[in-house]
Amino acid sequence: MATYGKQTYNYAYRLTGNEADARDLTQEAFIRVFRAWRSFQPGTSFLSWIYRIVTNLHRDELRRRKGVFLQELPEDNQPQDLPADSSAHDPIAAIHDRQLSSTMEGALRQLTADQRAVVLLADLEDHSYQEIAAIMACSIGTVRSRLHRARMQLRKLVPRLREQERRQGSSL
């Protein structure tokens, strides 16, 4: 749990966009892991198995909440524990990083849950299409089309959100 906990929590955080839901999702995922421990097939990726559970739980939760998972990020959304060699020592770079993070999170939130999961798994977790297909229980073709659509949307959304933030920043 110590080995995979951090990665799972970070995936859940990126998927949900907030700490409270990420914590609940991760906790429930590990409880399911303990319950279904015997069904894990040795030789397969344990992390992919947990990611699959997290993705399914997130999907179920979205369905339960009728598509409304999160509308706003909490105050503590921004990264607080920056590593020593990061831009934390450079206030301008830190502001830029926060703006970038906020823009990307905003853009990701406008994708569907499945599109967001595919983007996170492909671009941040470096999973292959085959692994993503196994995690999301769909075909490689579906992974490909979801990723294409998601990235096309992000390419349109990111400049628009950046422009909005720039306008809001200059008006203050």
Partner 1 sequence: MNCENCQALLTDYVHGEVDAASDAAVFQHLHGCATCESAWQAELALTESLRSAFAVERDFPTSILAGVRQAVRAEKAPGAMAALRALLRPAVLAPAAALIIAGAGIVHYNQAHITATSPQLSAEYLVRQHIVQTGGTQASERAWNGYMLTTANANDTNLGSP
Q: Which positions touch partner 1 (CB under 8 A)?
A: 1-2, 5-6, 9-10, 13-14, 19, 23, 26-27, 30-31, 34-35, 79, 81-83, 86, 97, 100-101, 103-105, 119, 122-124, 128-129, 144, 147-148, 151, 154-155, 158
Residues in CB range of 91: below 8 A, 6 or more apart: none
Q: Which is nearer to partner 1, 59 or 94 (CB)?
A: 94
Q: Which is nearer to partner 1, 74 or 171 (CB)?
A: 74
Minimum Å distance from CB 63 to partner 1?
A: 22
What is d(CA 68, CA 64) in angstroms, rounded to the nearest whole number?
9
Minimum Å distance from CB 1 to partner 1?
A: 7
Minimum Å distance from CB 158 to partner 1?
A: 7
96-102 own/partner pairs: CB under 8 Å, 24+ apart: 99/162, 99/165, 102/77, 102/78, 102/165
Minimum Å distance from CB 46 to partner 1?
A: 16
Q: Which is nearer to partner 1, 13 or 69 (CB)?
A: 13
Q: Which is nearer to partner 1, 3 or 171 (CB)?
A: 3
Give me the phi and psi of 18, to 5 degrees please: -150, 160
Give Cα 47 distance to the centre of its chain.
Answer: 15
Q: Which is nearer to partner 1, 67 or 73 (CB)?
A: 73
HEC per residue, 116-149: HHHHHHHHHCCCCHHHHHHHHCCCHHHHHHHHHH
Which two three-digit tokens encode residue 44? Answer: 């397969």
Minimum Å distance from CB 66 to partner 1?
A: 26
User: Measuring CA to CA, how many Å separate 106 from each of 35, 62, 158?
Assistant: 35, 18, 9
